[in-house]
Amino acid sequence: MLKVNDINVYYGNIHALKGVSLEVKEGEIVTLIGANGAGKSTLLKTLSGLLKPKSGSIEYLQAAVSGKAPQSIVKAGISHVPEGRRVFANMTVEENLELGAYLRKDKKEIRKDLDKVYELFPRLLERRKQLSGTLSGGEQQMLAMGRAIMAKPKLLLLDEPSMGLAPLMVKTIFKIVEQINQAGTTVLLVEQNANMALSIADRAYIIETGRVEISGSAAELQASEQIKKAYLGGI
Ligand SMILES: Nc1ncnc2c1ncn2[C@@H]1O[C@H](COP(=O)(O)OP(=O)(O)OP(=O)(O)O)[C@@H](O)[C@H]1O
Ligand SMILES: [Mg+2]
């Protein structure tokens, strides 16, 4: 579904992604794990057209997407849930969700998808008229994910959905990621919470200072003592 081939991305002189290659197959949950500053968000921003690679290629459903504008990438079926959620605080929950569908014209289908989002996140239904800025961190994460789903993505990019959340909420969020995947959406999940991410992923890539250092099935990585010591906090 997605093939990233040897991309290099810079911020001015800072070489943030150094020849990164990875792939995501339809139906998978793939996780990208790495420490602060490794380049995880840079990769997602590049996939969604917010940054342009200096070299290398990105193929999505057999077509080149590198260089395309963010809107056309959303239209093609890639939705990005950014780090830090970025919900519109002064708008209600429902207004935020409706914004997620802003490129769509199929009113009936949009209504159906809104109902689906409320099914997936009953908490958002309870709070649909509430201003988003008054939601808890976990609820804002749900809203950000719900908003992305309103674009009807085939591939969902999630940037550290568990960041700053209490353990119980982290569990809830990961469970919902699994449900979204089981309902047919492919997921690329960026996380620092490596153990949780590996527990729901099919495959994983470990990125360090702009380079993919290790990749394999989630089960392989979870089983490796060396990887546990180096990357998974020795757990
Ligand atoms: N707007 C920017 N301008 C300059 N450098 C940047 C910018 N954004 C990120 N960087 C640098 O690029 C590198 C990769 O950053 P990135 O945000 O992709 O890391 P990350 O893996 O998402 O980290 P975190 O886990 O902290 O979110 C870092 O060295 C960072 O300092
Ligand atoms: Mg980041």
- For residue 109, give the CATH number of its domain: 3.40.50.300
Between the two ends of the chain, the Cα-to-Cα distance in Å is 33
The Å distance, Cα 44 to ligand 1 centre, comes to 11
DSSP letters, 146-207, are HHHHTT--SEEEEE-TTTT--HHHHHHHHHHHHHHHHTT-EEEEEES-HHHHHHH-SEEEEE
**pLDDT tens for the chain, residues 1 to 235:** 999 999 999 999 999 999 999 999 999 999 999 989 999 999 999 999 999 999 999 999 989 998 899 999 999 999 999 998 899 999 999 999 999 999 988 999 999 999 999 999 999 999 999 999 999 999 999 999 999 999 999 999 999 999 999 999 999 999 999 999 999 999 999 998 898 999 999 999 999 999 999 999 999 998 888 777 777 665 4
Position 145 in a domain: yes
CA distance 67 to 201: 29
Is 57 within the bounds of a domain? Answer: no
Contact 152, 104 (CB under 8 A): yes
- Indicate whether residue 11 lines ligand 1 (CB < 6 A): yes
In a domain, 16, yes or no: no
Q: Could you tell me if residue 119 is inside a domain?
A: yes
What token pair was written down for 113?
A: 């998808």
In terms of C-beta density within 10 A (0-12 exposed, 13-18 middle, 19 or more buried), how is residue 69 classed? Answer: exposed
Q: Ligand 1 pocket test: which of 8, 32, 41 has the largest number of ligand atoms within 8 Å of its C-beta?
A: 41
Q: With respect to residue 20, please indicate whether it lies within any of the assigned structural domains.
A: no
Q: Cα(31)–Cα(58) distance, rounded to whole angstroms?
A: 18
pLDDT at 106: 92
* Residue 120 located in a structural domain: yes
pTM: 0.95
- Contact in structure between 51 and 32 (CB atoms under 8 Å): no
Q: Is residue 80 part of a domain?
A: yes
Domain count, the chain: 1
61, part of any domain: no
Centroid of ligand 1 to alpha carbon of 14 (angstroms): 9
Helices (H) and strands (E) in the chain, counts: 10, 10
Distance 39 CA to ligand 1 centre (A): 6
Query: What pLDDT sits at residue 234?
Result: 52
Contact 100, 147 (CB under 8 A): yes
Determine the pLDDT at residue 233: 65
Q: How far is CA 57 from the centre of its chain?
A: 20
Domain that holds residue 155: 27-52+68-231
Burial of 129 (0-12, 13-18, 19+ CB in 10 A): exposed
Q: Is the C-beta atom of 100 inside 6 A of ligand 1?
A: no
- CB distance 159 to ligand 1 below 6 Å: no
**Cβ atoms 53, 34 nearer than 8 A:** no
Counting from 1 in the atom list of ligand 1, the atom nearest the Cα of 207 is 21
